Amino acid sequence: MRPSSSCWADGAEAIKGGSRVKALVLHGPLDLRWEERPLPEPQMGEALVRITAVGICGSDLHYYRHGRIGRFVVEKPLILGHECAGEVVEVAGPAAGNIKPGRRVALEPGIPCWSCPECRTGQYNLCRSVRFFATPPIDGVFCEYVAHPVNLLYPLPDQVGEEEGALLEPLSVAVQACRKAAVPPGGSALVSGAGPIGLVTMLVLIASGASRVFVTEPYSFRRRLAAKLGGYPLDPFSTEGDILDVINDLTKGRGVDAAIECAGNAAALAACLRATKPGGRVVVVGLGESIPQVPMQEVIDKELGVFGVFRYANTYEQALELVCSGRVDVKPLVTHRFPFADAIAAMQQAATGGEERMKTLILMPKY
């Protein structure tokens, strides 16, 4: 029975469509099934949110193909999806600020404990007890409704659509990476990989004042998109010259102020280390080999700072401001859209890759 203090939207009983909801569930590698799950019951301090848009992330595809990512293993049926936006249907307890029924919101997908040393120092992305959407054994949002803490919901202004709201999640990864990179205004940077994470990282660097952002990418479609969005694309396999020579020529031999590795392979990380100036920073975002063969002498000789990025903390508000202000436009990254009813086909097609496929979105039905 729902708390009597719950605040419901007009017509919510009709909107929710019964006590069970449809979900897309991963049972093992390449084994997705439609199931019905109980309608989530929000607890005090939570809201029931109707999901409206979900992005397919590389991690979703990794779980779909392999059933695991490193130490995170799918041992029981799991709902995928963590890049999402939705509409508040119910708030358990009094409405909290702008979080009220009918409000469109972006959902920050990780729920930390808020009490451990990492949480208390603001690094809640490193909380060892965090419950993160679509990270085993925590279900994600390839479903119609979720219950989520109101303090992890971010109201979307009228000029920001649900698709952009869903993409605040990968944009938050970029914000976290760029904070680590600390490129000064007018500085230069290198981003390896022009997939969705690489391109939003490039966009945040440009919005933060970097004068030139090099982007290495083997696929011509992605290089063209990077150029269209303001980057300086380079083909790492070009026969016309070494990319490091190009970077050195254009930085007057100094190298870039910082490099952000988003490709997830050892060769790209090695190029980042070589391209970065003495005393610069290299930020590792891409998930690659456990022990990559990288030129550690570069780190030592140039006293490079090397930083890892694990998700993000305190980034959603900045990501939303970047979109609201128009300084970052994430819409060009969406190349494919599917209705929720075709989500299995969407995952199958996204898993095949292809250079002209960037971000795939699942759009939920309108009620």
For residues 235, 239, 241, 243, the Cα torsion angle rounded to the nearest 10 degrees is 20
- CB 199: neighbour CB atoms within 10 A? 27
Q: What is the pLDDT of residue 19?
A: 87
Average pLDDT of every residue of the chain? 93
Nearest to 218 by CA among 196, 239, 243, 193: 193
CA distance 147 to 21: 13
Q: How far apart are CA 188 and CA 212, in angstroms?
A: 5
Mean pLDDT of 153-158: 98
Which has more pLDDT, 98 or 303?
303
Q: Tell me, what amino acid is at 99?
A: I
Look at residue 1 in the predicted model and tell me its pLDDT.
32
Residue for token digits 């992305």? 125
Report the pLDDT value the prediction gives residue 10, as an integer from 0 to 100: 41
Question: How confident is the model at residue 7, as a pLDDT?
Answer: 38
Q: Are 147 and 38 in contact (CB under 8 A)?
A: no
**Domains assigned to the chain:** 7-167+330-363 (3.90.180.10), 171-308 (3.40.50.720)
Mean pLDDT of 137-166: 98
d(CA 104, CA 98): 10
- Top pLDDT among 95 and 197 is at 197
Q: What is the tens place of the pLDDT at every residue in 167-203?
A: 999 999 999 999 999 999 999 999 999 999 999 999 9
Mean pLDDT of 292-316: 94
Query: Which segments of the chain does DSSP mark as H helices, in order?
Result: 12-16, 58-66, 117-120, 162-166, 168-181, 196-207, 220-228, 243-250, 266-275, 296-301, 316-324, 343-352
- Give the model confidence (pLDDT) of 270-294 as tens digits: 999 999 999 999 999 997 766 677 8
- What CA–CA distance (Å, rounded) separates 102 from 109? 20
pLDDT of residue 93: 80
DSSP run (H or E) holding 361: strand 359-363
Q: How confident is the model at residue 70 (pLDDT cuts 50, 70, 90)?
A: confident
pLDDT band at 205 (very low <50, low <70, confident <90, very high): very high
Q: What CA–CA distance (Å, rounded) separates 169 from 155? A: 14
Strand 256-261 relative to strand 153-155, pairing: unpaired
The confidence score (pLDDT) of residue 12 equals 46
In this structure, of 85-89, 93-97, 246-250, the range with the lowest mean pLDDT score is 93-97
pLDDT on residue 15 = 46
pLDDT of 18: 59
